[in-house]
Amino acid sequence: FVSLIVSLFQLDLEMSFTTPDAVMSLIEQLIQFCWPFTDDNICIPFQRMSYSDAIQHYGTDKPDLRSDLRLKSIDLNQINGSSDKSCLTLVVSQQKSEVNQKLHNFMNSIEVTKRVMNF
């Protein structure tokens, strides 16, 4: 029986005359060094994107990058919903929190499957 004690830590960095890239690089190396309890190697540098790219392509500033579901601009003046088969209409009748929870559960199930099947 192993007892795990979960602790939260805060790391304060004091760096003079640095750049955002230097800070992110240092944190990436620190995370890579401190994450020995997984079989997966943590590859650095981490994927980065600008705020505007995240909003434009994913509609949020914290996109879930486990699957590449990007937003696509559609000109509504050029779509005939009754005859255009490239247009899919989806009506969501549930609350936003319920939809978010179902998406979160689905994405987690993909991660579990990948781990079990050694992807």
CA distance 45 to 116: 26
Q: Give pLDDT < 70 ranges for the chain.
A: 1-6, 38, 75-94, 116-119
Domain boundaries, the chain: 11-48
The contacts of residue 68 (CB under 8 Å, 6+ apart) are: none
What is the model's pLDDT at position 32? 86
Rounded Cα gap, residues 56 and 67, in angstroms:
16
pLDDT of residue 19: 95
